[in-house]
Amino acid sequence: MRPSQQGHTIPLARCGMVLVLAVLLLSGAVPYIDGATRPELAYLVVAGQDGPGGVPVAEDAVRAAGGRVAQAYPQIGVLLADGPGAAFAARVRSAPGIAAAGASHSVPLPDQPRGAWARAGGRPTRSIDDRSGELLPTDDVPAAADPHGRPQWSLRMMGGASADRTGLRRTVVAVLDSGVDDTHPDLRSAVDPSRSVSCATGSPDTAPGAWRPDPAVGESGHGTHVSGIIAADRPGDGVAGIAPGARIAAVRLLGGVGQYYGENLVCGFLWAADHGARVINDSYFADPWKYNCPENQDQAAIIAAVGRAVRYAQGRGAVVVASAGNDAQNLGGPRTDDRSPNDHPDGRRPTARRLGAECIRLPGGLPGVLDVTAVDRDGNLAGYSNWGAGQVQLAAPGGDPDGGPGQAVVSDWPGGGYAALAGTSMAAAAVSGAAAVEAALHPGVGSAQLTRDLEAAALPVDCPSGRLTGPDCLGGAYFGYGLAEVPRR
C-alpha cells in the first residue's frame, strides 16, 4: 500500500487507493472590510501584545508599510493584510510591537470579495488522486450502503455510541473542514445553523448555507463524512455517530482554490470558540506548507497566528483534536516534504526539503492538541498513518483503504448518500466524538482536564505484529496514550 501524501483521507475506489485530501486553516469572527480584495499576497501579522490591545499597533505597522488591513482578529492581536510585494512583510516585522509577519500564501489569489466565498475559477489546485495528479470526479468516491443504524466495527472498537443524549444536546462540536451538508437525513437534527459559518476567505460569512460544501471544489464531501462519524443521529436508519445528539457547528475552511490557508484556520478557531464549541475537530493540515518551520519567517508567522487562535479556543474550554496525517512518517524525526508549497496554479511539484522535528503540521503539532493516529480493523497502526513518540496522543479507528468497504469507515456523504473512506481524518473524528461525550458528562471541566481525562482513559495498546515492530513502538510512538474509548459514567 502506498501512503497518502497530501491529506488525511484515503477512500476506496474502482482504480484502487484514492486520496481524498483534508486541508485547512481558519480566521476570526470579526466583520470584514467592505470591498477589500487580494491584489497580491495575503499576510498574517501578529502583534507583540496578544488580544485587542495589539491590533492598533499592528494596523499602524501595516499602513506604514503601504499595506491594507483586510481582516482583524482582535481576540488574539492578529491581522490579515494585503501588502505590496515581498518587502512588505520585512517592513512590518521591523516595526515596534510586531512579533511576526509573513505571507500566508506562496502565490497571489485572484481578486475576490473577502466576506463572501466565491470560487476563484478553474479547477482546484489540489488533486484528489495523489498518484496521477488528476482530479477525480465525485462519482469516483466509493459509495457505500446505508448502514441502517447498525454499529460498525469502528464504533464497536470505541466501545459503542453514547446513550447520554441529554448532556450531548448541550454540547457543541465544531467541524472545521470542507463544509457540512446539513440537508443529509442523518445530520439535519445535528447541525446548528446559528453556529455555522464559512471561513473560506479568512473572514466569517454567515449567509444561509455558506457552511455547506461546494461540489465544484475537491474534497467537498469530507466534512460531511467526518460529521457523521461524530454525531449522526437518525435512530433505526443511517449512520450511528459516536455522540448522537451533539450539536455540530459546521465551519467551512476549504476555499475556492482548494486550500486551507492559515487565515481560514484562524477565522475558524475564533468562530468556534466564540460560539460555544467544547470540541473542535481538525481533519486536515494547513496550506500551503505541509510542515511549517519556525526558522522560515513566513511559516513562523503562520505558526504564531494559528497557535494563538488554538490557545484562545482552548482557553474558552474547547478540546482541539487533529489528524496526524497519512504520510507514514515519524513526526518526531527527520523526514522529507516534497509537496510544499502546494498552491501553485499549474500544480508543479516543488523541490523536496529535508525537515526535522521542529517543523510541525498545523494544527496537530501545537501544544495541547490531541493529535490522532489511525488503526485498522485488527488494531494495528494503519500503514499510511503518521506517528511519533511525544508527537501523537491517541489512536482511533481509521481503517484500511485496500480492504474493501468492510475494512474502511462508512459515514455520510452529501446528497443523502454514504461513502467508505479510510484515513487519520476518520480517526480524529472518532476521538472528537469521544471528547464530546466526555464534555457532556463533565460540563464544568476545562479543556486541559478533559484532554487529560481522555488520555488517562485510553486503552493501552501493545506493539503491533508485522512490519511495525521494534524500538520505534516504544514510548507511545504509534498509539500515544492508547486507543481512545467512548467515556461512560
Q: Are residues 421 and 366 in the same domain?
A: yes
Residue 264 in any domain: the answer is: yes
Residue 30: count other Cβ atoms within 10 Å of its Cβ.
18
Residue 16: count other Cβ atoms within 10 Å of its Cβ.
12
Residue 70 in any domain: the answer is: yes
Number of domains in the chain: 2
pLDDT class of 28 with cuts at 50, 70, 90: very low
Residue 442 in any domain: the answer is: yes
Q: Work out whether strand 370-375 and strand 353-355 pair parallel, antiparallel, or are unpaired.
A: unpaired
Mean per-residue pLDDT for 3-26?
35
What is the signed CA dihedral for 198, 61, 344, 16, rounded to 10 degrees? Answer: -40
Residue 3 in any domain: the answer is: no
Q: What is the pLDDT of residue 13?
A: 41
Q: Are residues 217 and 301 in the same domain?
A: yes
Q: What is the pLDDT of residue 347?
A: 63
Mean per-residue pLDDT for 241-251?
97
pLDDT at 36 over 70: no
Distance CA(204)–CA(338), nearest Å, equals: 32
- Tell me the three cell numbers of residue 366: 501545537
Could you tell me the CATH number of the domain that includes residue 59? Answer: 3.30.70.80
Q: Are residues 83 and 216 in the same domain?
A: no
Q: Looking at this protein, which amino acid is placed at residue 98?
A: I
- Return the minimum-mean-pLDDT range out of 57-66, 94-103, 148-157, 238-247: 148-157
The sheet with strand 68-73 has its strands ordered as 68-73, 78-83, 41-47, 98-103
Q: Are residues 91 and 154 in the same domain?
A: no
Last residue of a domain, one of 68, 103, 138: 103
Q: Are residues 82 and 20 in the same domain?
A: no
Nearest of 217, 216, 226 to residue 249 by alpha carbon: 226
Residue 184 in any domain: the answer is: yes
Residue 118 in any domain: the answer is: no
- Tell me the three cell numbers of residue 316: 474558552
Cα separation values, 361 from 2, 52, 278, 324, 366, Å: 20, 27, 22, 8, 8
Distance CA(475)–CA(481), nearest Å, equals: 9
Mean per-residue pLDDT for 328-353?
86
Q: What is the pLDDT of residue 78?
A: 98
Q: Are residues 63 and 176 in the same domain?
A: no
Distance CA(429)–CA(421), nearest Å, equals: 12
Mean pLDDT (the chain, rounded): 84
Q: What is the pLDDT of residue 111?
A: 56
pLDDT at 468 over 80: no
pTM exceeds 0.85 for this model: yes
The 3-class SS string of 211-274 reads CCCCCCCCCCCHHHHHHHHHHCCCCCCCCCCCCCCCEEEEEECCCCCCCCEHHHHHHHHHHHHH
Q: Are residues 87 and 166 in the same domain?
A: no
Distance CA(366)–CA(345), nearest Å, equals: 29
pLDDT class of 88 with cuts at 50, 70, 90: very high
Mean per-residue pLDDT for 19-33?
28
Q: Are residues 141 and 87 in the same domain?
A: no
Mean per-residue pLDDT for 303-330?
97
Angle at which helix 424-441 crosses helix 447-457, to 10 degrees, equals: 110
Q: What is the pLDDT of residue 165?
A: 86
Distance CA(271)–CA(401), nearest Å, equals: 34
Tens-place pLDDT, residues 388-437: 999 999 999 999 988 888 999 999 999 999 999 999 999 999 999 999 99
Q: Are residues 464 and 336 in the same domain?
A: yes
Tens-place pLDDT, residues 121-169: 332 323 222 322 223 344 466 788 888 888 889 999 999 888 888 899 9
Q: What percent of the chain clears pLDDT 70, i.e. is strictly above it?
A: 81
Q: Are residues 462 and 438 in the same domain?
A: yes
Residue 231 in any domain: the answer is: yes
CB 421 within 8 A of CB 221: no
Q: Are residues 200 and 130 in the same domain?
A: yes
Q: What is the domain range of residue 458? A: 10-26+125-476
Residue 483 in any domain: the answer is: no
Could you tell me the CATH number of the domain that includes residue 283? Answer: 3.40.50.200
- Return the minimum-mean-pLDDT range out of 214-223, 246-255, 314-323, 351-360: 214-223
Sort 124 into a burial class: Cβ within 10 Å, 0-12 / 13-18 / 19+. buried
- Tell me the three cell numbers of residue 310: 488554538
Q: What is the pLDDT of residue 473?
A: 61
Q: Are residues 383 and 448 in the same domain?
A: yes
Q: What is the pLDDT of residue 256?
A: 81
pLDDT at 72 over 70: yes
Place of cell 437534527: 189
Q: What is the pLDDT of residue 402?
A: 86
